[in-house]
Structure 1
Amino acid sequence: MSKHDEIQDGGRDMNRDPITKAPGAHPVGVGVGGAAGGVAAGAAAGTVFGPVGTLIGAAIGVVAGAAVGKGVAERVDPTGEVEYWRDAHTNRDYVKSGHDYDRDYAPAYGLGLQAREADRTRGWDESEADLQRQWDQSRGASKLDWDDARPAVRDAWDRTDRTYDLYARSDAYHADAFEKASYRDADADYSHYQPAYRYGAYARSRHADRAWDDSLASELERDWPNRRGDSPLDWDRAKAAVQDAYVSHDQYTGGNYLRDNSGRDDTDRFRVG
């Protein structure tokens, strides 16, 4: 299989469920916080929305379990999303006063993110009825009914799509440029570096106003063990590729590096904030 074949399906492997063989059905492991751990540890993706319904009460932290095992480097960083939505929700016009982020909105963001990661083959219209049932059955202490939770769930769902579209552009760009990369190890192939490229692309989306410097590199180094997936590269070997993806962001978010984009130059679509 060539490096170009490996990045078909928009830069993702299909992550098929080991039982059903359905693409995009991911098992869920332990969560970020203590509230998620016990429940999440026993959950498996027997159905696409089953784990979401089981875990929704543990809020957005449950998606950290998606970072366990193979595929970690293909996923949206759950801890980054917790931080993002804690800040970003205050600027959303659907957020109601008198409601608590952790109790009311974090579970809705968690549902949108985890559901979209679990199945990227169905669109929102096909999935909404299932999402509503899961929310109504499993929203825990959240005071939001579906009509109020829906825009937050959709917000996280759409942001997840933008992140994976960003990964697709990064994959296509760096697969083309990899052969000439000055930092490439002779004994490594593209698949070893792909997690580093995706990590750099995602980091840039989280820190759009920060230049690459030693301080940022140190921050990213701390999370590399959780982001490397199957890559054999330690940070010293991966750092240059992460930096490459971070600083070349504007080149691959243009109109040239997304398959089947019909010539569009819709860079704003790939700003995942």
Structure 2
Amino acid sequence: MSNKQGHDTGEGVGADAVAVTGAVVGSVAEPGTVVGTVAGEAAAAAIGPNDYSQYFQANYRSQPYYSSGRDWSDYQPAYQYGYDTYGQYRGQRFEDVEAQLERDWAHARARSRLAWAEARDAVRDGWHRLQRALPGDADRAYR
């Protein structure tokens, strides 16, 4: 597959993901807003949603925040939430929007058994993965 084909596929999936997750995030943003779509396309161009998900699915158990007894169905919504909300809050630090993310986690968590205290680091990890991949975003300080 050429880079152009992968880019087109990622953009299409990213835009769809933003439209679908707008309903999941609920009060955070209206679904299908221009800002959300553009941010979703930028995230999809940097790391396609499938690549992003596959990376974390292969690595979540080796992360320092992983809790034994939890499985992918618990962590996947946290990583997805990180992916979805990074585009929405792009340009802001995770710590600056964390209180809002915590409030909205109850709606975004789907069937995850993770409370915010457990999901926080996975969401943050997802943010930072996108932040490092998007041009101009990696130069912002984060911990």
Q: TM-score surpassing 0.5?
A: yes
1:42-191 map, 5 Å: 43=23, 49-50=28-29, 66-67=40-41, 74-101=45-72, 103-164=73-134, 167-168=135-136
Offset, 1:30: 3.0
Q: Match for residue 22 of structure 1? A: none
Q: Match for residue 176 of structure 1? A: none
Q: Distance in 1 between matches of 2:62 and 2:108?
A: 26
Q: Is the 8 A contact 1:109 1:152 kept in 2?
A: yes
Q: Highest relative contact order (Cα 8 Å, sep 6+), 1 or 2? A: 2
Offset, 1:42: 7.9
Q: Return closer, same or farther for 1:122/1:87 CA change in 2, 3 Å cut-off.
A: same
Helix, strand or coil for the counterpart of 1:158? helix
Q: Return closer, same or farther for 1:72/1:111 CA change in 2, 3 Å cut-off.
A: closer
Q: Which has the larger radius of gyration?
A: 1
TM-score by length of 2: 0.67
Q: For 1:107, give the aligned amino acid.
A: P
Q: Name structure 2 gaps, 5 residues minimum.
A: 1-13, 32-36
Helix, strand or coil for the counterpart of 1:162? helix
Q: Return closer, same or farther for 1:51/1:159 CA change in 2, 3 Å cut-off.
A: farther
Q: Return closer, same or farther for 1:86/1:150 CA change in 2, 3 Å cut-off.
A: same
TM-score by length of 1: 0.37
Q: For 2:121, give the aligned amino acid.
A: P
Q: For 1:30, give the aligned amino acid.
A: D
% identical equivalent positions: 30
Offset, 1:46: 9.2
1:40 pairs with 11, 16, 20, which one? Answer: 20
Q: How large is the RMSD of aligned CA atoms in angstroms?
A: 3.7
Instruction: Name whichever of 131-140 and 84-93 sits farther off.
Output: 131-140
1:6-17 map, 5 Å: none
Q: Is the 8 A contact 1:94 1:151 kept in 2?
A: yes
Q: For 2:65, give the aligned amino acid.
A: Y
- The one-character-per-residue Cα deviations of 1:37-60 (angstroms, maximum 9, x if unpaired) are xx81985x997x3369xxxxxxxx
Q: Distance in 2 between matches of 1:112 and 1:50?
A: 15
Q: Return closer, same or farther for 1:162/1:143 CA change in 2, 3 Å cut-off.
A: same
Q: Match for residue 184 of structure 1? A: none
Offset, 1:87: 0.8
**Length, aligned pairs only:** 120
Q: Match for residue 11 of structure 2? A: none
Offset, 1:94: 1.0
Q: Is the 8 A contact 1:76 1:160 kept in 2?
A: yes
Q: Match for residue 30 of structure 1? A: 16
